[in-house]
Chain A
């Protein structure tokens, strides 16, 4: 029996490993590195390089160096707000092609290290990946010459890595996985070798990459730099510098970023502190909170019922992330796992389970998203709810609505929104009816999700009892590129026209809200403030009032005034929350 590889196909880095004489191990490339950058460079002449060598091309040839392609896989063109610095269409590659090139590279690393051919693999994906993203990842594996034995969720994989030496224990754990481009939270129960996922939630467009980009923008605004156009081609340099500084700031309080010759005359030198970085990263990391609470609610657990919160993913090295996780779950997170390698180790363990070398482990994963079909009035009718254990199936009956109706098109959707149009459309299936009077033809359709979380639709002929697989006519591809670009361009044009007016209105509303809040807060506890602070708040409030009434409108001035008042009332806001908490405590005791 040939070996099965375990592969972590990450947004920024990928790893490959295998079970060797009963132990999961990760494999290193010729340079001795286990971590392969998920980057591919496509030279004009056609040469393809992958990994560390391709990463070095990013600064030299950014238009032809593809990174973070995981953010694009299985998604429709122009969807999402992430815009790469390269142009895949120009290079002539699809996200699946690029992923396949990376996987082929990993396969080569493994074959070199094992000195034998391999053709089977387990590949991990973010838990929150939908059917299209899972399908596309599987297709990439097949293109790379691998039989994909299992698509495995990343946090589940990490849980395996954490729990393999604790099979006799009973525990409830959360895995908080913040990687380069995706965030997942999964809650699992471990007992007697069974790893059962209770709930999972996440965001497939949130990760360390976003922090790098926000940090790079901030650095650019700090250094006095010429116009954006001049340094446009140099943004990857700035991004790399931001990423390096971010990593250093996890262990240092202060880092100076130096980029020589960012444009022909100027050197960039910016001093940054961990506090700067945390201020920029905070709103991004705070976005994970609501997903964590959602997963806890779905698992019907309170934070104190969890035994451990396991951190994985490179971004969890940031002290700020650890602080926020501790705040969300009310306990210090467990950092026993190697943030870069735990998912890959889990993939290898799963490969071991499949090849039969780890018989005592059972993994029960769930589908992250509800599956449904569009019904009357454009509503989503859920057929398989989210967090249903895989594999699973559910049947629906369809009836002809008019006499001799020959077929019915059904839109298959994934997502949690009430309206069909707000969910992801996986595609359409055509249900064929035998001819007959209205209501006479009844066709049963079975929707099943396999252990990979991939959908299959079957129809059963009630007379012959024969099952037919229904093709899902995917609209994920075949979208006219030009049309999409036109749509995006139009919305941008339109946005510019009323942008100024909109910013003014937004700022005015915010200012007005602040003034009302200040008046009420001062009435409640103004007497508790010291004289200076009270004076400061009042003068800032006056500034806001003046700016709102000032003609002509000065957006900049109003925004600055709002910001000052926001800052000046910070301790007042803290005071209010403290008083509310004291009151709650009194109610509890009283």
Chain B
């Protein structure tokens, strides 16, 4: 099985320093890139490894697949805490409202009818930005837990966190896409 850690010469762990990762990626690219006489297939692996390791949700998933004991790998229904749940319903409502608004905005042809929508558009943006900010805050909070997990080797908790990171990543993408459509 492909091992992103091995490809970029890292030990398997949940917490990874971004600066160290970038440095390793640069060094391996320098050696592997076809521009510098490297091998195309090896360069593709270096790229794939970086792609996995830089995103926390993908990195944890990869780590679980590589190293977790069998019972921790089994598909689990992850209990999301109340805070996440309420954030999720807030997000759902905001996304739905902005989708409806974007529909109306696309139909507006004249400068005046677009101007009439400006106030609502800004309010939509504000609520999405607020949610985006909250998602980011939570992600940072969860990232701070990772070094402790590396020490305790608590695979179960790692599985839970991985699922949460995956949710957060998905929600953040949705917020970004909605904000883009609202510009």
- A contact residues vs B (CB 8 Å cutoff): 150, 191-194, 290, 293-294, 297, 300, 350, 353-354, 356, 359, 362-364, 388-393, 448, 450-451, 509-510, 513-514, 516-518, 520-521, 524, 566, 569-570, 572-574, 576-577, 579-581, 583-584, 587
Contacts and interface: CB of A to CB of B under 8 A. Distances in A.
Interface in B83-130: 108-116, 118-119, 121-123, 126
Nearest to A456: B40
Given A354-B35, A388-B51, A518-B112, 15 more contacts: A191-B26, A300-B176, A356-B37, A362-B33, A362-B36, A389-B47, A390-B47, A392-B48, A393-B48, A516-B113, A569-B111, A570-B111, A573-B111, A576-B112, A584-B119
B144 interface: no
B114 A389 contact: no
B44 A391 contact: yes
Contacts of B26: 191-194, 362
Nearest to A297: B180
A300 B177 CA distance: 11
Given A297-B177, A576-B116, A391 B47 contact: yes
B51 A580 contact: no
A130 B43 CA distance: 21
B78 to A, nearest CB: 25
3 tightest A-B contacts by CB? A573-B115, A580-B118, A580-B119
B122 A392 contact: no
25 contacts: A191-B22, A191-B26, A192-B23, A297-B180, A300-B176, A359-B36, A363-B33, A391-B43, A391-B47, A392-B47, A450-B34, A451-B40, A509-B109, A510-B110, A514-B110, A518-B112, A520-B116, A566-B111, A566-B112, A576-B112, A576-B119, A580-B118, A580-B121, A584-B122, A587-B126
A577 B118 contact: yes
A392 B36 contact: no
A521 B112 CA distance: 8
A391 B40 contact: yes
Nearest to A537: B112
Greatest chain B CB density within 10 A among A359, A524, A576 is at: A576
A174 to B, nearest CB: 16
A297 B176 CA distance: 7
Interface of B: 22-23, 26, 29-30, 33-37, 40-41, 43-44, 47-48, 50-51, 108-116, 118-119, 121-123, 126, 176-177, 179-180, 183
A517 B113 contact: yes
Greatest chain A CB density within 10 A among B26, B47, B108, B111 is at: B111
Nearest to B22: A191
B36 A577 contact: no
B173 to A, nearest CB: 9
Greatest chain B CB density within 10 A among A293, A388, A584 is at: A584
A573 B122 contact: no
Given A364-B29, A513-B108, A521-B112, A576 B44 contact: no
A509 B177 CA distance: 30
Contacts of A290: 183
B112 A514 contact: yes
B51 to A, nearest CB: 7
